[in-house]
Structure 1
């Protein structure tokens, strides 16, 4: 943090907490007390009314506020929850910026609003799922990919697919031109032009390993707009499944990615899915046991029977 940013941050920190000692400020901004003393002097010379009380610390003169912004309780809660989300889902660099933003927002709130916001935030909590909690290496990868996108550098990595290719191989080495990152259902996806396939592909960050930024550059296409991008839909295999009425609500709550239609019938809930291949849905179907039955296609019905026979042999 440079001196200018630190001076503003000190003012905001004093405005937010009232009275702080030099050693407290030194710990917060990871600097020495001598530097804090110089910063306080610079603020005083610049006209900021910083008051020093021996044995207590520094504070701002009563009535001094920066900046002249006004938020409702709901607006402030929304912004602060947003910083929580960024800290959970984004890389370390953005997480640190989110923490700085949170401090600035809290600092500019009038005391009454700040107390109401603090109380409201105690009633709301963001819990990351196991997958979206983002292991340390995954956050590092997000930061690396974000930098590569901005600098228009190609990246190389090993990729593991959930389902094997037609040649039976699940693992491959890819070199791609990264265009953007998308957070989809709690998982980070990279949109990139794949050198191997010579087309746009989607890669889940959690399935990458040995990520390397290359010196080879690429030209970001002027006609590609991530916010407007819609991937082509090649899911042309229709699947229909019937669930027992007792567990129908559980299947609805599962929010399967491939689910397209739900229709209640006398004998249970009939669900329609669209997939590329039956392997994408097979584990999900098996997880519900005898409480669901595949109506079509016959290929999926056969696979379920085969897996049931294998399980019987194991038990």
Structure 2
């Protein structure tokens, strides 16, 4: 398993909000506890809201707190989208200011970190290319709200999907979809979408294909 895939698997395991011991995470992903410690450091440095420490356990929190502000994940998402957009501009002064501001935000985030963030803060390995997915977020949001099907190119394969929910994990965006091409649920990393097109076709909830069905299935795998 590639490390980026393992990190995505760890996010999915930790997102239930309960504490998970490093030894249990290691057994589930087939690596050592020491690798899990490094993975937790990397996820925290990537902006994923990891809470916990060695010997106690880890979990993903639902919100990020910045003194003296309390920011929801959606508000934090909007902030990082704006910073990332400005950082990629041709104005060096603004670009540098965005990078500096992102570093300041990272410095006061409450995650337990063993090392300081690197680079511009919002583009740290292993999700350094997450900004590529920004262009797709408006279409994904619209399709989720209006319940419209999407045609997307993912891993060089064309898929027809029903977008059910967008999730944000510290600069990494995922979308829960029912894929009509593979006839199953998928959690798609938005940065891995090559192209996206909203289709005129609408969809309605069907037994076994709804967000509720996905959530029940995911919970069943944890029990």
TM-score range normalised by the length of the shorter chain: 0.3 to 0.5
Highest Rg: 1 or 2? 1
Q: TM-score, normalised by structure 2?
A: 0.43
